[in-house]
Amino acid sequence: MRGTGTEPVDLFIIGGGINGCGIARDAAGRGLRVTLAEMGDLAQATSSASTKLFHGGLRYLEYFEFRLVREALEERETLLVAMPHISWPMRFVLPWQPEMRFAGDTPTARILGRLMPWMKGRRPAWLIRLALETYDRLGGRRILPPARPVDLTKDPAGAPLKPRFTRGWEYSDCWVEDSRLVVLNARDAERRGATILTRTEVVSAERQGDLWRVTTEGREGRREHLARALVNAGGPWVARIIREKLHLPTRENVRLVRGSHMVTRRLFDHDRCYFFQGKDGRIIFAIPYETDFTLIGTTDQDHRGAPDEARCTPEEQDYLCAFASDYFARPVTRDDIVWTYSGVRPLHDDGAHSATAATRDYVLSIDRQGAPLLNVFGGKITTYRRLAESAMTKLAPFFPEAGGSWTAGVALPGGDFPWDGASALAEGLLRDFPFLTDRWAMRLVRAYGTDARNLLGLARNALDLGQDFGATLTEAEVRWLMRHEYALRAEDVVWRRSKLGLRMSAEEIAALDGWMRDVSGAAGAQAAGLAGAS
């Protein structure tokens, strides 16, 4: 196989989060030979634990992060058009009250503190209006509607809130299914020639002549790979990989900042999100989630443990409940919580004194002491495509034969339909597969887009889709996920390829896991048998 033994690949990528998979897709599409190794499941770490927004980040304007905000805002619509199944526009309602304060360390807070000391750190309404106008102008909107004031005494968005919230604004950003984004990038990279190895850890890598020799341990045992360049997209592990796997000195560091979310029963009946500002200068979102739930987050805590030990602590749950209860008329309590998740932001350490203030921008550092090594620090889901382009620009001198930028405007698998065409696609499915329910059809469209038809094949009734694992998950879908989307265990299916874990019982998930282990065991034995026979 390419990349093993004597035939080197061009790029070996460590890490199957959004940055690793985005770079793999971009590089493969430029004609480079690529291998990517992910030690667990794709998107198992930070890239499945985000707030799931393609956004500029309204609050970063207070830190004067104009480059980052502009790049992210411009990306929203480029990405929306390329993946209208897993991304869609959202409106955010920002209720205003005079007590909202800045985090004390933002440049805006410092300037206002000098010019308007009587405000004592409070955010004036005119400043929020100015920020929203800037947000609208910076991003070059073509599809998303602009910000507008909202009278919360009349608008349905005011109904679930405390009566003291009488005015606010509404603005646009986009939703994205983060873990599906990662998998679809990996799938597209593979379609363009890349090799994607999951549950395969890079245990060491060293320079050998003008190549990298990379050692992996995984499902196929211990293997050696040769590559002309190495990309370290290890997310929260990036610095650890440099020190412990590559044994190289580095002055770069990551700041690990934990962010936790909680999912509650549905707290309101409309389809808009809330942007709540706290008295501590922080903000949280409350977002309609998976039809029957509300997603609330996030927190910002420096994280000391291993990246994969991040959990939403009871203190974080209480913090999020109290924050949301300042706004909702009916208090949010721990009894409302049905699920929590937590991830670690791998931020480039810029020496900021608080976790909230640390930059969300990305830094790509290239080490040219022999075969090139590119380390990826920080980044956002929203800027992954631009990050991949920048990574390729940094690597371009080593690969003069590589093609130019190409990913803007090219659909991800299943995304070849208009940005507002999901309902029409679901109607088509209901017509041709009348046994589907409305919700089931829309779930398939939102996950697979135009591929939903390929998944359903020639089925004339639900029985044709094989075993029913619960919550409309069928054998046909699981087989699709195992064949095309690298799923191997039930948790890959119910928490990352979908969120059906919110609806399935522990027994149903265990039965699915047993079934998947049997199928992958049988497939492995068959492959071994065939290999032995050849």
Ligand X SMILES: Cc1cc2nc3c(=O)[nH]c(=O)nc-3n(C[C@H](O)[C@H](O)[C@H](O)COP(=O)(O)OP(=O)(O)OC[C@H]3O[C@@H](n4cnc5c(N)ncnc54)[C@H](O)[C@@H]3O)c2cc1C
SS3 377: strand
Nearer to ligand X, 347 or 442 (CB): 347
Q: Could you list the residues that contact ligand X (CB under 6 A)?
A: 14-20, 37-40, 44-47, 49-53, 55, 201-202, 233-237, 241, 245, 259, 298, 343-346, 379-382
**Roughly how many angstroms between the first and final C-alpha of the chain, as a whole number?**
16
DSSP-derived secondary structure letter, 77: H
- Residue 479: count other Cβ atoms within 10 Å of its Cβ: 17
**CB 180 → ligand X: shortest distance, Å?**
13
Nearer to ligand X, 272 or 453 (CB): 272
**CB 273 → ligand X: shortest distance, Å?**
11
Nearer to ligand X, 122 or 496 (CB): 496
Residue 367, sorted as left (phi over 0), alpha (psi -120 to 50) or beta, turns out to be: beta
**CB 116 → ligand X: shortest distance, Å?**
31
| Nearest-angstrom CA–CA distance, 55 and 18 | 16
E runs forming strands in 38-115: 53-54, 87-95
**CB 117 → ligand X: shortest distance, Å?**
34
Nearer to ligand X, 158 or 307 (CB): 307
Nearer to ligand X, 390 or 472 (CB): 390
Q: How far is CA 174 from CA 143, 192, 309, 416, 471, in A?
A: 11, 28, 29, 18, 26
Nearer to ligand X, 9 or 381 (CB): 381
**CB 207 → ligand X: shortest distance, Å?**
17
| Nearest-angstrom CA–CA distance, 219 and 39 | 10
Torsion of the alpha carbons at 425, 426, 427 and 429, rounded to the nearest 10 = 90
Chain position whose Cβ is nearest to ligand X: 17
Nearer to ligand X, 298 or 317 (CB): 298
E runs forming strands in 298-409: 301-302, 337-348, 363-367, 373-377
**CB 163 → ligand X: shortest distance, Å?**
30
CB 167 within 8 A of CB 152: yes
